[in-house]
Amino acid sequence: MNVLYDKLLSFGKLAALPATGANADFPDDLNLGKAAGSTDSYPGKAFTNADRLTVDVCCDTPAGGTSITVVIKGSADGAAFATEVGKNTFTLDDLKAGPCKTAISPNKFQYLRVNVAAAGTFTGKGAEAFLNTYAGK
């Protein structure tokens, strides 16, 4: 499958998937609103939303582990990410076939963060997560 992603919509890269029983946040949160000092605007809104879009996790040569669970959390202020807005579990075969898509439920959060938890010890070169804005799913 050939998929093209926008680097500006990346949650960043993990050098390796976490160890069994551990979890890790992808390094970058997405701000769906204006950056400080920006003159960009959304008509009548302070920020856009990602309702019903997906976060796609792309693993680089996954091997060894059993599964991962991807959790997407939202935040109003970019500080506290307590509310889950999407969750899905993927097997090693899913990761190999990739990308692994987790749907985002309707919400009113300006910021999104992606967390991954692993079952089993994964080898490979890590993973990257992207907001997939293709709405024609």
CATH class label, 12-32+52-132: mainly beta
**Single-letter amino acid, residue 19:** A
Task: Give residue 115's pLDDT.
Answer: 98
Rg value, the chain, Cα: 15
pLDDT tens for each residue of 28-67: 999 998 766 676 666 666 777 788 899 999 999 999 999 9
pTM of the model: 0.89
- 12 has which bridge partners? 129
Residue among 107, 13, 23 at smallest CA distance from 57: 13
Domain boundaries, the chain: 12-32+52-132
- For residues 98 and 106, what is the distance between their CA atoms, to the nearest angstrom? 24
How far is Cα of residue 16 from the mean position of the Cα atoms in its chain? 15
Tokens standing for 75? Answer: 């935040």
